[in-house]
Amino acid sequence: MKNTTLTITFNTEKLDALFFHMGKKDANLQEELNDIIQKLYEKYVKQSTGMDAIKLPSTSPANAAWRLERLIECWKEYIK
Dump pLDDT digits (tens) for 8-35: 999 999 999 999 999 999 889 999 998 8
Angle between helices 29-41 and 12-24 (to 10 degrees): 100
Q: Residue 62 CA to chain centroid, in angstroms?
A: 24
What does pLDDT average to over the chain? 84
pTM across the whole model: 0.60
Confidence bin at 52 (pLDDT 50/70/90)? confident
